[in-house]
Amino acid sequence: MEVTLIRPFAHFKTITTHKWFVCKYCFRAGLYWQGLTHDLSKYSPVEFWVGAKYYQGDHSPNDEERKDKGYSSAWLHHKGRNKHHLEYWLDYHKFPDGTRLAGSRMPEKYVVEMFCDRIAASRVYRGENYDRSAPYEYYMRGKHATPLHEDSAALLETLLLKLRDEGEDAVFQYIRTQVLKKKK
């Protein structure tokens, strides 16, 4: 796959549109710094040029790189630098049957940023076909393969269901008043 002149511009537009949506949603949740700094690593050369090379426009270029190479160098770089990805939180844990790699409990603010990220990705990739059930449906399709800690998964599912059933205003009010309220 070759990087043409159009791909870098199209990829830049896609990641910037995505970042703008996440910033908007993080601001609604009260996560201003996370909104501003979300996914900045996507603009780094190691992620950006791979994304431009494998750009498709309707799904993540990381999927295309995986098809080509068997892994995604951009994803490996990205997930290790962005705490809103569940893969950042994978570690070895002791279980009754032994030690294995599993998800650690994520701080709520990163679960909320992950939620915002999922809405934004659904909006960008679905375009006019987006509806508020899309992020929940996407999550459910991959849930069986998701090594997300049970507490983090429960919060994410609650937010996705509240979005689907009650809408954005209700879910962001819930986030601000119930999930991220300051502990006294």
Q: What is the pLDDT of residues 82-99, one digit of tens each?
A: 999 999 999 999 999 999
Q: What is the C-alpha separation between 44 and 37, in angstroms, rounded? A: 13
Listed as own residue / partner, the contacts of 98-106 with beta carbons closer than 8 Å and 24 or more positions apart are 101/147, 102/147, 102/149, 103/147, 103/148, 103/149, 103/152, 104/149, 105/149, 105/151, 105/152, 106/148, 106/149, 106/152
For residue 182, name the pLDDT band (cuts at 50, 70, 90). Answer: low
Question: Is 68 among the domain residues?
Answer: yes
Count of domains forming the chain: 1
Between 5 and 12, name the one with better pLDDT.
Answer: 12
pLDDT attached to residue 124:
93
pLDDT attached to residue 1:
56
Between 6 and 139, name the one with better pLDDT.
Answer: 139
Question: Is 184 among the domain residues?
Answer: no
Question: Is 19 among the domain residues?
Answer: yes
Instruction: List the domain range (segments joined by +) for residue 157.
Output: 6-179
Is residue 131 over pLDDT 50?
yes
Is residue 3 over pLDDT 90?
no
pLDDT attached to residue 183:
54
Question: Is 43 among the domain residues?
Answer: yes
Question: Is 1 among the domain residues?
Answer: no
Is residue 184 over pLDDT 70?
no
